[in-house]
A and B are shown apart, each in its own frame.
Chain A
Amino acid sequence: MSKLNKSEALIDAQGVSINFGGKAILADVNLTIGDGEIVTLVGPNGAGKSTLARIVLDLLQPDCGTVLRRSGLTIGYQPQRLTINSVLPLKVRRFLQITQRHPYDHLTQALNAVEIPHLMESDLHTLSGGELQRVMLVRAVLRKPQLLVLDEPTQNVDITGAAEIYELIEKIRQSYECGILLISHDLNVVMSATDRVYCLNNHLCCSGKPEDVSQHPEFLRLFGKHASQKLALYTHNHDHTHGPSGEIIHHEHGHDHN
């Protein structure tokens, strides 16, 4: 596999397609992530967001398309769900070093940065949802990765907590200059911190700067109902819509969705 050198992107995926059991989960998707760039994947459930992330992480091979990675790319990965068998005794301090050992003062600094220094010796099984998300974020960042992949980092976190976590993510980008691939459904909160949004629904509906994407008819069609007030007003000018299994249906004339 050819590798990208330092002047190029961290990840460059072109024409990625994958099928599961005859169903196209991703069709001809392109994605690039550069240094210090926050790239957000949005899309409804089953749109293939996590699948694309797993392809980026090299956990899954696409059926066709190419995925180039920078040579020697270091990755920090925060998975969507962490269910640890309760028979495994695990303190936060040990969990932070699960794939790489760190000096103790790095651990304290890192926990201080997310305002949970008191959790160092806590049992991982007793943490609340928000605490666990922070601990997972800290763990991924401690590796000083060039690319950070965060799959729904605000799951099980209330709205205030989610906003705080997004602030943290922006801080991380500033202090580590790492590229970040963010998967999220919290559209409104995500937008402010993001450089580029990819709106995914098995194919790439649209991509670009958040303000452009938020005006894109495809985005509005997928999220119009839930997006912010100003997004609710939109003109009906999209060029295609989706059937029940996500296939693209082209229309000559507009029609009413709701």
Chain B
Amino acid sequence: MFDDFLIRAIFAGLGICLIAGPLGCFVVWQRMAYFGDTLAHSGLLGVVVGVLFGIDMTIGVAVTGVLVALMLIGLQQQKHLPTDTLLGILSHAALASGIVILSFMETLRLDLMGYLFGDILAVSNTDVVWIYLGGLIVLLTLYFVWDQLVALTVHKEMAQAEGVAVLPLQIIFMLLIALMVALTMKIVGILLITAMLIVPAATARQFASSPEQMALYAVILGSLAVAAGLGGSLTWDTPAGPSIVVAASLFFALSCVLDLKKSIASRRKPIIK
């Protein structure tokens, strides 16, 4: 009963969760959800650029993401506009120009819906290899900069004063997100990539008592969402990517209910320290 495409989908989904779990925690900790969105939106431009220059789509998306991230860092050096405004500008400029350039390429028939929502069931063996190779790079890099990234998250200037090279670290982190977007786009689609980053991480928060634990739980919760979403998609014939995100969101809702119960229970008990 397990068809090849389903096995590939499961492997691809789990691979994405391995990357998205720890990266998503940093996105949540550093309040960068909108940044993830911006890179995802620039993904469509990346696809178009990839086709235009005849390079691999994943590379096109990754390069575009990197350029947008570098543009953001450049724009952040001026002090007048806040980051969320800059992100809004970059995000929609990239998305809109992607669609406009696409309209010029009359010979190209691109499945826009496929890029907006992804198609995990159409994942090829090559895609799965890409995800695990790219994932390995992301995880190895994260392993080596983990402590420094956590320090940066806790207090940027404290970390910098005590010897953490802040700007290179921020650039590395943005590059990792760009790579993650490139690897994930085909599977969950532009509009839902940020969900894979932040929903499992946010759900993991209330069960975790250390940054490392939260990253691990985010991976587990993401994987459960992939399993539940794919199962639901097969059972009810719903689109796979959105089903995974719906499953992840249901887990989040469940964790909120548990949290509420816990806080009610603890309010009943007198607190003795």
The reply to whether B157 and A77 form a contact with Cβ atoms under 8 Å apart is yes
Docked CA distance A123–B208 (Å): 11
The reply to whether B147 and A95 form a contact with Cβ atoms under 8 Å apart is no
Q: Which chain B residues border A91 with CB–CB below 8 Å?
A: 209-210
Q: Which chain A residues border B141 with CB–CB below 8 Å?
A: none
Tell whether A90 pairs with B211 under 8 Å between CB atoms, given A58-B161, A99-B164, A149-B161: yes
Identify the stretch in B101-109, B148-156, B188-196, B256-264 within 8 Å (CB) of chain A at 4 or more residues: B148-156
Docked CA distance A163–B30 (Å): 35
Docked CA distance A91–B214 (Å): 13
Interface size on B, residues (CB 8 A): 27
Docked CA distance A106–B42 (Å): 48
- Name B's interface SS: helix
State the Cβ distance, B28 to closest chain A Cβ, in Å. 5
Say if the beta carbon of A98 comes within 8 Å of chain B.
Answer: yes
Tell whether A88 pairs with B209 under 8 Å between CB atoms, given A99-B158, A99-B162, A149-B161: no
Docked CA distance A100–B150 (Å): 11
The reply to whether B155 and A82 form a contact with Cβ atoms under 8 Å apart is yes
State the Cβ distance, B72 to closest chain A Cβ, in Å. 20
A53 nearest CB neighbor, chain B only: B161
Tell whether A79 pairs with B155 under 8 Å between CB atoms, given A91-B209, A94-B210: yes
User: When each residue 56-100 of chain B gets 1 if its CB lies under 8 Å from chain A and 0 otherwise, what string results?
Assistant: 000000000000000000000000000000000000000000000
Docked CA distance A59–B208 (Å): 33
State the Cβ distance, A129 to closest chain B Cβ, in Å. 16
A94 nearest CB neighbor, chain B only: B210
User: When each residue 84-113 of chain A gets 1 if its CB lies under 8 Å from chain B and 0 otherwise, what string results?
Assistant: 110111110011001111000000000000
The reply to whether B211 and A94 form a contact with Cβ atoms under 8 Å apart is yes
Tier of interface size on chain A = 20 to 34
The reply to whether A59 and B28 form a contact with Cβ atoms under 8 Å apart is no
The reply to whether A76 and B210 form a contact with Cβ atoms under 8 Å apart is no
Partner among A82, A90, A99, A123 whose Cβ is within 8 Å of the Cβ of B159: A99
The reply to whether B209 and A89 form a contact with Cβ atoms under 8 Å apart is yes
Docked CA distance A89–B213 (Å): 9
Q: Which chain B residues border A70 with CB–CB below 8 Å?
A: none
Partner among A76, A85, A99 whose Cβ is within 8 Å of the Cβ of B151: A99
Say if the beta carbon of A216 comes within 8 Å of chain B.
Answer: no
Say if the beta carbon of B252 comes within 8 Å of chain A.
Answer: no
Docked CA distance A95–B209 (Å): 12
Say if the beta carbon of A193 comes within 8 Å of chain B.
Answer: no
Scan residues 190-246 of chain B and give those whose CB is less than 8 A from a CB of chain A: 202, 205, 208-211, 213-214
User: When each residue 21-44 of chain B gets 1 if its CB lies under 8 Å from chain A and 0 otherwise, what string results?
Assistant: 000000011110000000000000
Scan residues 7-49 of chain A and give those whose CB is less than 8 A from a CB of chain B: none
Q: Which chain B residues border A87 with CB–CB below 8 Å?
A: 28-29, 202, 205
Most buried by A among B30, B154, B161, B202: B161
The reply to whether B161 and A77 form a contact with Cβ atoms under 8 Å apart is yes
Say if the beta carbon of A240 comes within 8 Å of chain B.
Answer: no
Q: Which chain B residues border A78 with CB–CB below 8 Å?
A: 158
Q: Which chain A residues border B163 with CB–CB below 8 Å?
A: 74-75, 99
The reply to whether B154 and A95 form a contact with Cβ atoms under 8 Å apart is yes
State the Cβ distance, A89 to closest chain B Cβ, in Å. 5
Q: Which chain B residues border A185 with CB–CB below 8 Å?
A: none
Docked CA distance A85–B26 (Å): 11
User: When each residue 156-200 of chain B gets 1 if its CB lies under 8 Å from chain A and 0 otherwise, what string results?
Assistant: 011111111000000000000000000000000000000000000
Docked CA distance A78–B158 (Å): 7
Most buried by B among A59, A74, A85, A98: A98
A-B contacts, 21 listed (Cβ < 8 Å): A77-B157, A77-B161, A79-B157, A82-B155, A82-B158, A84-B154, A85-B30, A87-B29, A88-B211, A89-B205, A89-B209, A89-B213, A90-B154, A91-B210, A98-B147, A98-B150, A98-B159, A99-B148, A99-B159, A100-B162, A143-B162
Known: A85-B30, A98-B154. 18 other contacts (CB 8 A): A77-B157, A79-B157, A79-B158, A84-B154, A85-B153, A87-B28, A88-B29, A88-B154, A88-B214, A89-B214, A90-B210, A90-B211, A95-B154, A98-B150, A98-B158, A98-B159, A99-B147, A99-B158
In the complex, the 6 A-B pairs of residues with the closest C-beta atoms, listed nearest first: A77-B161, A57-B161, A99-B162, A89-B208, A88-B29, A99-B151
